Structure 1
Amino acid sequence: MEKDLISVIIPIYNAEKYISKMMKALSKQTYSNIEIILVDDGSKDSSFQICEKYASELSRVQAFRKENGGAASARNYGFRKSKGKYITFVDADDWITEDYIEFLYDLMVDNEADISICGYKKCFQYPVIFENKHNPVRIFTAEEALENLLYRRNLTNSPCLKLLKREMFEEFMFPEGMLYEDLAVVYQWLGASRRIVYSPDVKYYYFQRQGSSMHSSFNRKKWDLIRISERIRKYICQKYPMLEAGANSRLFISSLQMVREVPLGKKYKPYRIKLRKNIRWLRLEIFLDKRTDKKTKVLAIASYLPYPVLKFMGMFSAKMVMKLKIIQRY
């Protein structure tokens, strides 16, 4: 009996150097009933030509090209072209193990879950050294999963590393025209789920490279991070009020992240005033919350530093992460 069709959706933008590595990993998947949807988001390099080549050679690969609209737009476009019962997203410049899809599928089916999630590892260069560990599986209710996400424990806001039912994504698609679109939708997937299964076994390798959209200079679109974090807080307060402290923690971290992004110029003063206001009232909530980890409480203490000093420390820390290749959660 043939297993369910799984759609693998890959948004692509100027990724000519990386597509072949991901396609090599997908061609070796132990789960065979997959369709691979390549969506070129208006690349300026030869990415689409490479996608067409794979589509002409492999029957389960489809290549599409659209005007540039961002990763959210490309993923939504790919979903509309897909036919799978289950959906998973991977990025062209990342890497997956040969059993990535089968692992997530078995995890979901065996545990009768709405979403299955695997572990990941951040890398800065190829080749990847695969980990072959078998860790205990955890089952979450929606509330437990949201708590885990808000406090940045095991679960992440990445749409990758996850397998979800088609109807789940159909209900909560990516908001287009925004940055941090992952943050805007993953919490809704978890909140609408009856059962989420997670394994820390590393099956996905996320490559951090300079020049990506999340590591570029400031523009007003980056304020989407605050808008989305406030939206999350409103959602939590309405549907899961017992997790309000966790939503406060998420907004506090987002505000600190934005401190290093917003310039000190006069025209950005309204942004800085808003960030100061957020930080001042949220840090007290952080101190009082027993579920907050020590690292976040240290950040709350550091937030008493003058704004320019706090901004400098944030920028310096970000540079050191890239220079020293320090692994951080995202």
Structure 2
Amino acid sequence: MKKLDIIIPAYKAQGTILRTLSSIAQQTILDEIVVTIVNDKDGIGYEKFIDMFKDVMDIRELVLEENGGPGVARQYGIDNTTCQYFTCIDADDTFANAYSLQLLVKSADDNKEYHTIIGSFAEEHEGMKFVNHSNDMVWMFGKLYKRDFINKYKIRFNETRANEDNGFNTIIRLVSSETEKVMFLPDIVYFWHWKEDSITRINNCQYSYDQSFVGYVDNMIYAIKHAKKVKPFNNYIDMWAIQTMAQLYIYYYQTVKRDPRFTEQNYKKCKEYYKEIFKDIKEKFDKQVLDDIFAQTFTQQSQNTQDFVAEKTIYQFLEELL
């Protein structure tokens, strides 16, 4: 019986997807897997790769009617698959070893109260250097999701092209509870491969202070609103929203310091978040609660603020956002 859908969003990935599919072909539970390549309307297609692997795995290609970005492609894959579990892998990455998916599936099978199983992943940098990521709830890498839980809370990707994975996983974070939990595994199950022309690295990492900032705000608004709709009495959502406002304060002044071309754009996005989310929430809490959450966030982000001093305190910043 098939248990696990693997969804691969792909756009002009003909030069890298072979290694991705090869890492799937070596999995110990290959007979339990269905592989779906979602062609993000690249005009080329993946038929030759389907032909290459169809005798060893259950594999197919779906084609979007128009290009939508990786989040839209992943969502189309989720909507058009049916296994009880699903995971996603980018078309230029690989699973870490032959046991990666067996470990994720076994952890899900053996622990019914856990709806999401999160393995660790290794990020490759130039020169064969690797950075390990554990307990991550931003990227899609190395994660297994139980479809029943995703359907129960109507969790879907926002139709944006940046930070859409962060929005998806933030909803999961915010609607989890003591009876519906996330499991973190220390084992590395996924490799995020180095790509010199990646959008996140080109133009002196412009993406971080341009599209990524905009996408972060859009997806935090989306995630918080959705979580409050399905769990309206969960105070953790409000706490997260306050923490996100502090994150945006830091992120904005990083923009001012590191790429001031996007200062005006990102200030407008901070105002949007304040209006859509923070304005109503701050009225529910006294200043001491805000102080505590702000202080905790600044402590956690201290390494990201060492090269600049914000021109205004966070309360001055918030006053101007009114």
TM-score (norm 2): 0.70
Bigger Cα displacement from structure 2, 242-251 vs 176-185: 242-251
Measured at CA, do residues 56 and 120 of structure 1 come closer, stay the same or move farther in structure 2, by a change above 3 Å?
closer
Q: 1 CA distance for matches of 2:233 and 2:159?
A: 24
Q: 2:172 aligned with 1:197, yes or no?
A: no
Question: Post-superposition shift, 1:6?
Answer: 0.8
Alignment correspondent of 1:79: 78
Residues of 2 paired with 1:277 and 1:285: CA distance? 23
* 1:164-203 matched pairs, under 5 angstroms: 164-170=145-151, 171-193=154-176, 194-203=180-189
Q: Which residue of 1 aligns with 2:247?
A: 253
Distance 2:244 2:100 in 1: 29
Is there any run of 5+ residues in structure 1 with no aligned partner, and where?
A: 132-151, 308-330
In 2 relative to 1, CA 183–220 (structure 1 residues): closer, same or farther, beyond 3 Å? closer
- Report the Cα distance in structure 1 between the residues aligned to 2:214 and 2:84, rounded to whole angstroms: 35
| Unpaired segments ≥5 residues, structure 2 | 283-287, 313-322
Q: Give the corresponding residue for 1:63.
A: 61
Partner of 1:115: 116
> 1:288 corresponds to which residue?
292
Q: Equivalent residue of 1:114, what SS? A: strand
Q: Residues 121 and 134 of structure 2 are in contact (CA less than 8 Å); yes or no, is this contact kept in structure 1?
A: no
Matched residue, 2:21? 23
Work out the CA distance in 1 between the residues paired with 2:28 and 2:93: 18
Aligned partner of residue 15 in structure 1, secondary structure: coil
Structure 2 distance, partners of 1:179, 1:285, is: 31
Preserved CA contact (<8 Å) 1:16 1:50: no
How many angstroms apart in 1 are the aligned matches of 2:125 and 2:172? 29
Amino acid at match of 1:205: F
Aligned residues: 281
Distance 1:270 1:64, change over 3 A: closer
2:118/2:135 contact within 8 Å kept: no
Kindly state the Cα deviation for residue 229 of structure 1 after the two structures are TM-superposed: 2.6
- After superposition, the Cα gap between the structure-2 partners of 1:36 and 1:127, relative to the gap in structure 1 and judged at 3 Å, is farther
Shift of 1:157: 1.5
Question: Residues 117 and 199 of structure 1 are in contact (CA less than 8 Å); yes or no, is this contact kept in structure 2?
Answer: yes
CA offset digits 1:38-96 (Å, max 9, x no partner): 1111226x553444434655450101222211111111121233221111111111121
Q: In structure 1, what residue type is equivalent to 2:264?
A: K
Shift of 1:209: 2.7
Amino-acid identity (%): 17
Q: Within 2, Cα distance between the matches of 1:287 and 1:64? A: 49
Q: Is the 8 A contact 1:223 1:258 kept in 2?
A: no
Q: 1:161 to 1:47 in 2, by over 3 A?
A: same
SS in 1 for 2:83: coil
- 1:106 maps to a residue whose letter is K
Q: 2:125 maps to which residue?
A: 124
Normalised to the residue count of structure 1, the TM-score between the two structures is 0.69
Partner Cα separation in structure 2 for residue 264 and residue 34 of structure 1: 47
- Structure 1 residue 294: deviation in Å? 3.9
What is the alpha-carbon distance in structure 2 between the residues aligned to residue 38 and residue 229 of structure 1?
A: 28
Partner residue in 2 for 1:143: none
Q: CA deviation at 1:186?
A: 1.1
Check the 8 A contact 1:72/1:181 in 2, yes or no: yes
Alpha-carbon shift at residue 118 of structure 1 (Å) = 0.9
Q: 2:196 and 2:248 mapped to 1: Cα distance?
A: 21
Does the 8 Å contact 1:38/1:62 carry over to 2? yes
Match of 1:135 in 2: none
In 2: Cα distance, 1:244 partner to 1:299 partner: 24
Q: 1:261 to 1:37 in 2, by over 3 A?
A: farther
CA distance in 2, matches of 1:231, 1:18: 32
Deviation, 1:31, is 1.1
